[in-house]
Amino acid sequence: MQTQITIVGAGAAGLFCAGLLGQKGHRVTVIDNGKKPGRKILMSGGGKCNFTNLDMDAHHYISENRHFCKSALKRFNQWDFIQLVNQYHIAYHEKDHGQLFCDNSAKDIVDMLLSECQKGKVNLMMQTQLEDVEAVEDGFKLQTSQGMMSCQNLIIATGGLSMPALGMTSIGYKVAEKFSIPIVPVKAGLVPFTLHKPLLDVLSQLSGIAIPVEVTYERMQFKENLLFTHRGLSGPAILQISNYWRVGEPITINLLPDMTFESSFKPLLEKNRNQTLKNCLAQILPKRVVEALIQLDMITDITVKQLNLHQQQRLFDTLTKWHIVPNGTEGYRTAEVTLGGVSTDALSSKTMAAKSQPNLYFIGEVMDVTGWLGGYNFQWAWSSAFACAKALDEKTVSHQC
């Protein structure tokens, strides 16, 4: 089977790129090892798909080259994708921090992408595994589970290693390595922390409780919810900081992110000086969390009036500067993204093309560009796919001329 353009991966980046190219008149085939396209989209955002963010900037991304994403994000931004969503009359709403979610279902986004592919007469081949690739004079030969294929241009949109239950594999990295394109070491990102015992024994009893916190690691800070789990800590604040955390190092949790000692904490103690400390703190923290802190000997269950000013300040510091050294992370099984990937030094930031191998492109999560939680990784999928499609179309037109 011969085609002009083959895209490996029927996820967000692959489907969007295919639709753009197909509607420009290119013969496009998308291959994917799964049964259904857009599997990760369907799972995202609790089934509602956080498809972009109103606040979009390069500082929301992690990469060895922090400038790499700027060009693509500028040329196809959040408003461009929102315009497409509006064209399909997909209802959506804004949550905290500018996050946009579908009102109905993530399936609306998948259906939109598939409709765009249908308009472009894209050939979609599911349950087709890429096994090997070879560069030839006029493009590439692909060995797949459905037989040999050939194409003039090859786009790798295979994603990372997160959520292996959805069929994610390392094939994208293997293709890069085949053509001597370096890989930035990969690891799980946007992922919950596990905890050491005996801390886990105490905090696991709080499983299901979510509280607003501010989590700090080195110079990074995120003020969002923390969720206690059976295995450790999760929630948006933890997922965000996990992208920056290094094994063996502590994170700092502020359990009272909206309080200061002088203006709010000290007056609270003075107002409730005849209460037990446990009951007083239960006004600003869940009672079970307070009980866990007592169990951990972080606070003592005495009456408030037994605390002098110095002890009040120390108590405040204990609650706002809780140092925890995570045991590790839950790994790719529950990670939302993969940090690292195909080195951006080996790619053009304008076209997503490999510098050392003609007609080979990488888009989306397979690259060393990782966004924060909040729609940033989907926007990178849309932006990098657009940059690639535009470059390929312009290249083809110029060759024809």
Instruction: Kindly report, residue by residue over 200-212, the tens digit of the pLDDT.
Output: 999 999 999 999 9
Give the count of domains, the chain.
2
Residue by residue, DSSP assigns 57-97 as: -GGGEE-SSTTTTHHHHHHS-HHHHHHHHHHTT--EEE-GG
pLDDT value of position 153: 97
Q: Which two tokens stand for residue 287?
A: 């009672």
Comparing C-alpha atoms, which of 132, 174, 137, 131 is closest to residue 152? 137
Distance CA 85, CA 100 (A): 11
**Averaged pLDDT for residues 158-187:** 91
Q: Which of 195, 203, 295, 296 is nearest to 250 (CA)?
A: 195
Give the residue-averaged pLDDT of 348-373.
97
**Which pLDDT band holds residue 401 (cuts at 50, 70, 90)?**
very low
Same domain, residue pair 49 and 173: yes
Among 329, 347, 372, the domain boundary falls at: 329
Query: Residues with Cβ < 8 Å from 95, sequence gap 6 or more?
Result: 50, 101
> Are residues 312 and 271 both part of a single domain?
yes
Q: Is the pLDDT of residue 399 over 80?
A: no
Distance CA(143)–CA(121), nearest Å, equals 23
Q: Mark whether 236 and 157 lie in a shared domain.
A: no
> With 70 as the cut, is the pLDDT of residue 296 above it?
yes
Answer with the one of 310, 329, 348 that is the final residue of a domain: 329
Q: Tens digit of pLDDT for each residue in 88-102? A: 999 999 998 999 999
Per-residue pLDDT reduced to its tens digit, 220-266: 999 999 999 999 999 999 999 999 999 999 999 999 999 999 999 99
Mean of the pLDDT values across residues 387-395?
Answer: 95
Residue 396 has pLDDT above 90, yes or no: no
pLDDT at 400 over 60: no
Q: Give the bridge partners for 131, in sequence order.
A: none
CA gap 286, 283 in Å, rounded: 8
User: pLDDT tens-digit profile of 101-136?
Assistant: 999 999 999 999 999 999 999 999 999 999 999 999
Residue 397 is predicted with a pLDDT of: 63
Domain containing 148 — which CATH number?
3.50.50.60
Determine the angle formed by the axes of helices 78-87 and 107-119, rounding to 10 degrees. 80
In percent, the amount of the chain with pLDDT more than 90 equals 95
pLDDT band with cut points at 50, 70 and 90 for residue 140: very high
Q: Are residues 197 and 340 in the same domain?
A: no
Average pLDDT taken over every residue of the chain: 96
Say yes or no: 107 and 155 in one domain: yes
pLDDT reading at 167 higher than 90: no
Q: 78 and 153 in one domain?
A: yes
* 64 or 3: which leads in pLDDT: 64
Angle 107-119/12-22 helices, nearest 10 degrees?
30
Contact 343, 183 (CB under 8 A): yes
pLDDT for 168: 78
Co-location of 177 and 264 in the same domain: no
Query: Which CATH number is 294's domain given?
Result: 2.40.30.10
Quote the CA–CA distance of 325 and 300 in Å, as a whole number.
22
State what percent of residues in the chain have pLDDT above 70. 99
Q: Are residues 304 and 267 in the same domain?
A: yes
pLDDT band at residue 165 using 50, 70 and 90 as cut-offs: confident
Rounded to two decimals, the pTM is 0.94
Domain C-terminal end among 302, 329, 356: 329
Range of the domain at 315: 193-329
Helix, coil or strand: residue 332: helix
Please tell me whether residues 130 and 179 are part of one structural domain.
yes
pLDDT > 80? residue 77: yes
